[in-house]
Amino acid sequence: MISQTHRLDVVPGGVTAVVHVKQYQTGESLVFELFSRFGDFEISSAYTECTVRGTKSDGNGYSANATCDPSNKSVTVQLTEQMTAVAGRQPYEITITESTGRMITTTFVLDVHRAALDADTITSESAIREIQQVVLDYINTHPDVLQMLTVGVVHDGQGNVEILPRNVIPDADLMEF
């Protein structure tokens, strides 16, 4: 399993870390080493909750447990399908709640790069063959359909146009379209 390591400042107003991932990427670990640009910082070993949450650009929220490591002052977040489902820059925050009620919060941006092929896209090679076969089967069972699909156009000289099926045009075989 691949993991990325990033440094996050727990003091608001610093440089926001941007984590680059691909759309639909899952299973990767994001390890965030937490620090304070103003001096000492520690995660209490008595923390009660460690979470990652954010709002995706489709307007839906995301929240999941993360893993805190007080000895290394780090938090590990597992990429999930829901975190990377929507392409774009998504704001996320890591929140650590300690037993004293003290809360540590830091933010990062998950920059989800659009996948070359959407998850629900049918590949054109197989879809084209299926469509061709359906059309050929229909034509073979309904040979008159080609005659019905051919159209003619009647113009009255005043900008009005009427589209006619081939079978209602007199001497359609002799007309040029």
Residue 164 sits in the same domain as residue 89: no
Query: Looking at residue 14, what DSSP letter applies?
Result: S
Total count of domains within the chain = 2
Taking CB atoms within 8 Å and a gap of at least 24, the contacts of 68-74 are 68/43, 68/96, 69/43, 70/42, 70/43, 70/44, 70/45, 72/33, 73/33, 73/34, 73/35, 73/41, 73/42, 73/43, 74/31, 74/32, 74/33, 74/34
pTM over 0.85: no
Are 79 and 156 part of one and the same domain?
no
Give 103's strand partners: 97
pLDDT tens profile 2-40: 789 999 999 988 889 999 999 999 989 999 999 999 988
78-92 per-position pLDDT tens digit? 999 999 999 999 999
Rg of the chain, C-alpha, whole Å: 30
| CA distance to 23, 95, 134, 162, per residue, from 145 (Å) | 44, 65, 14, 20
Tell me, yes or no, whether 145 lies in a domain.
yes
> Based on the domain organization, do 128 and 69 belong to the same domain?
no
Same domain, 57 and 128: no
Domain residues for the domain of 33 are 3-113
Residues 24 and 71 occupy one common structural domain: yes
User: Would you state the pLDDT for residue 140?
Assistant: 75
Domain co-membership, 55 together with 104: yes
Indicate which CATH number applies to the domain containing 100. 2.60.40.3350
Residue 41 lies in a domain: yes
Read off the pLDDT band of 68 (50, 70, 90). very high
Average of pLDDT values for 37-58?
Answer: 90
Query: Is the same domain home to 143 and 74?
Result: no
One domain for residues 27 and 78: yes
